[in-house]
Amino acid sequence: MQPLLEPGDRMEEASPEPSVSLWSKIYTFRTMAWEAYKKKPSSHWILLFLSSAAMLVAFPASSILSRLYYSNGGTSKWIISWVAVAGWPLTALILFPTYFFCKTFPTPLNLKLTLSYIVLGFLSAADNLMYAYAYAYLPASTAALLASSSLVFSALFGYLFVKNKLNASMINAIVIITAAMTIIALDSDSDTYGNITNSQYITGFIWDILGSALHGLIFALSELVFVKLLGRRSFHVVLEQQVMVSLFAFIFTTIGVVVSRDFQAMKSEAKSFEGGTTSYLLVLIWGAITFQLGVLGATAVLFLSSTVLAGVLNAIRVPLTSIAAVILLHDPMSGFKILSLVVTFWGFGSYIWAVHPLVKIPHNTRS
């Protein structure tokens, strides 16, 4: 019988290929990053950095302020939802000068574009209301950890609507983050405030997950609007989209506040607020400013990169919020929550590793 390998070929076939050293991988990644950097002007990367920083700083600050509102005596879900979109004129103040300095003109509104802004505005208003219920009944650290599930929905909806790639590592990250959410659910007994009942905790838990799902959908639909309807690659288009969506969300939320008569209740609520009326107003004003800056940064990241990077940054800021809540608000931090935080980091790492070839050259993810 003839042997499978000739004697002279045995060592050549059996010898493994030389392994690639860690330094070689680092050098290759650095080279790829430098090539990606050279494909875009410096202004692009500066703007992307500032937009990412806005997401990672402003969103956690807004979350802390939302929880502070409830812990200091606030009770209205509609008021917190309204505060989230009341800062929309800030974006308009940034938008108008760009027409003069950049010598551009407003994007013409047609029926499809207007309807898309109305739909996104309504979804944003609903999303803010869901998160208001979450922060009313959950510790800020827990609400933020649950909100990391928005990465799961961002990946799924980005795959369905924008045709972003979804590979095995992303699916692995989705499973890991889902497991982290399950760990938090198992720790509900030691994770509630003294004045919150179990049914309220469960309500906040459910609304947080639903809000995260809607948040992921909004990310995907926003990118779809950029790709299919707007088309032009200029930052003022990003600002226009944010102004219009926030305006319609503000209109829908204002209707809710008026119908619920929460505007009339603000005066008495401010008097009973811990720290008095001044503290009450400062919490609401800074809540409006920080949330608007965070959303503006997220929208800019969507334009400059894709749903992938926006979803990753939106997930990374979640542990930042959890840590800040433990330090500033003395949120309970049990062993289960620490385990959930570690598992969530693991999921983030898996996701970032899976998508880094997609985000290293942003224009590859857009049609």
Give 309-340 pLDDT, tens digit per residue: 766 776 678 778 878 888 888 877 777 777 77
Phi, psi angle pair for 127, to nearest 5°: -65, -45
Q: Average of pLDDT values for 38-54?
A: 81
Q: Can you give the pLDDT at residue 3?
A: 45
**Among 127, 51, 64, residue whose Cα is nearest residue 294:** 51
Q: Can you give the pLDDT at residue 311?
A: 64
Q: Is the pLDDT of residue 358 over 70?
A: no
Q: Average of pLDDT values for 294-303?
A: 78
Q: Residue 278's CB: how many other CB atoms inside 10 A?
A: 10
Q: Are 235 and 41 in contact (CB under 8 A)?
A: no
Q: Can you give the pLDDT at residue 173?
A: 76
Give the model's confidence band at 37: pLDDT under 50 very low, under 70 low, under 90 confident, else very high: low
**Average model confidence (pLDDT) across the chain:** 79
Q: Average of pLDDT values for 167-182?
A: 76
**Among 252, 248, 222, residue whose Cα is nearest residue 237:** 222
Percentage of the chain beyond pLDDT 90 is 27
Q: Is the pLDDT of residue 7 over 80?
A: no
Q: Average of pLDDT values for 351-364?
A: 52
DSSP 180-216: HHHHHHHTGGGSS-TT--HHHHHHHHHHHHHHHHHHH
Q: Is 261 left (phi over 0), alpha (psi -120 to 50) or beta?
A: left
Q: Can you give the pLDDT at residue 64?
A: 93
Least confident range of 24-28, 117-121, 179-183, 324-328: 24-28
Give 95-149 pLDDT, tens digit per residue: 888 888 877 888 888 899 999 999 999 999 999 999 999 999 988 888 888 887 7
Q: Is pTM beyond 0.85 here?
A: no
Q: Is the pLDDT of residue 279 over 90?
A: yes
Q: b/e for 31-58, b at 16 or more Cβ within 10 A?
A: eeeeebeeeeeeebeebbeebbebbbbb
Instruction: Record the tokens describing residue 169, joined without a space.
Output: 């590592």
Q: Can you give the pLDDT at residue 108?
A: 86
